[in-house]
Amino acid sequence: MAIETISLSGKKKEVSNKKMNFWESLYLIAIFKGLMITIKHLFKRKVTIKYPEQTRSLSPVYRGQHTLMRDDEGRERCTACGLCALSCPAEAITMKAAERKPEEKHLYREEKYAEIYEINMLRCIFCGLCEEACPKQAIYLTKSRTMVKAQTDREDFIYGKDKLVMPLDMAIKNTQNQAAN
Ligand code: SF4
Ligand code: SF4
């Protein structure tokens, strides 16, 4: 006897409760059909990759992890104006400003700098508005530092300056590349 089921998706499917014959009760045909589906997928183009050995090519407009930039003399560009934090729709950015001392001129480009600068990566939606709001070209969502790593502790997703500021050797390399071009 066929039982008609109500389908929310609109795809009506009929099920049957008729008694199975001997061959049907062995499930051989059903197993074979299942195996055929598996074998068919073996020859299809794979949608998964062996990360981290393999990586996908990124879009030219990909927004990766934030980098607080240095200028061509290796000084931090950020002046702790707070515009990035104000423009952030996720309220992910916090900072504390400090005044530069005369002996710190080689470290910070402006008279005011971010003593503390933190981004909560659990809040960030990688919209890039902080980058657009910055008047000092001090923050970029870079492709070179792509992924925010998986963690087990929520505290580890609060990225401070130790993780955000561009490494000095990277800044020197950028300056050398610019000079060569
Ligand atoms: S990318 Fe967007 S959400 Fe993330 S910190 Fe910047 S402004 Fe906030
Ligand atoms: S990153 Fe740019 S916008 Fe944000 S505080 Fe620093 S200078 Fe201002």
Asked, for residue 8, whether it belongs to a domain, the answer is: no
pLDDT at 125: 95
Q: CA-CA distance, 161 to 139, in Å (whole number)?
A: 12
Residue 146 predicted with pLDDT over 80? no
Nearest ligand to the C-alpha of residue 130?
1
Asked, for residue 15, whether it belongs to a domain, the answer is: no
Q: How far is the CA of 114 from the centre of ligand 2 (A)?
A: 8
**Cβ–Cβ under 8 Å, residues 89 and 127:** yes
Residue 94 predicted with pLDDT over 90? yes
**Residues 127-142, mean pLDDT to the nearest whole number:** 95
Residue 104 predicted with pLDDT over 60? yes
Asked, for residue 40, whether it belongs to a domain, the answer is: no
Residue 3 predicted with pLDDT over 60? no
User: For ligand 1, atom 1, which residue shows the shortest CA distance?
Assistant: 126
Asked, for residue 165, whether it belongs to a domain, the answer is: yes
Give this prediction's pTM: 0.73
pLDDT at 5: 57
The 10s digit of each residue's pLDDT in 105-116 is: 999 999 999 999
Counting the structural domains of the chain, the total is 1
Name every protein residue with a CB atom under 6 angstroms from any ligand 1 atom. 87-90, 92-93, 119, 124-130
Asked, for residue 139, whether it belongs to a domain, the answer is: yes
Asked, for residue 7, whether it belongs to a domain, the answer is: no
pLDDT at 143: 76
| 3-class SS of residue 147 | coil
Residue 71's nearest CA partner among 116, 20, 137, 160 is 137
Calculate the CA dihedral of residues 155, 156, 160, 163 and round it to 10 degrees.
180
Asked, for residue 17, whether it belongs to a domain, the answer is: no
Establish whether residue 88 lines the binding site of ligand 2, counting it when its CB lies within 6 angstroms of any ligand atom: no
The CATH number of residue 84's host domain is 3.30.70.3270
Residue 167's nearest CA partner among 44, 67, 78 is 67
Range of the domain at 115: 66-180
Establish whether residue 139 lines the binding site of ligand 2, counting it when its CB lies within 6 angstroms of any ligand atom: yes
Asked, for residue 144, whether it belongs to a domain, the answer is: yes
User: For ligand 2, atom 3, which residue shows the shortest CA distance?
Assistant: 134
Q: How many CB atoms lie within 10 A of CB 86?
A: 12
The 10s digit of each residue's pLDDT in 28-55 is: 999 999 999 999 998 998 888 998 898 8
The 10s digit of each residue's pLDDT in 8-24 is: 777 777 777 888 888 88
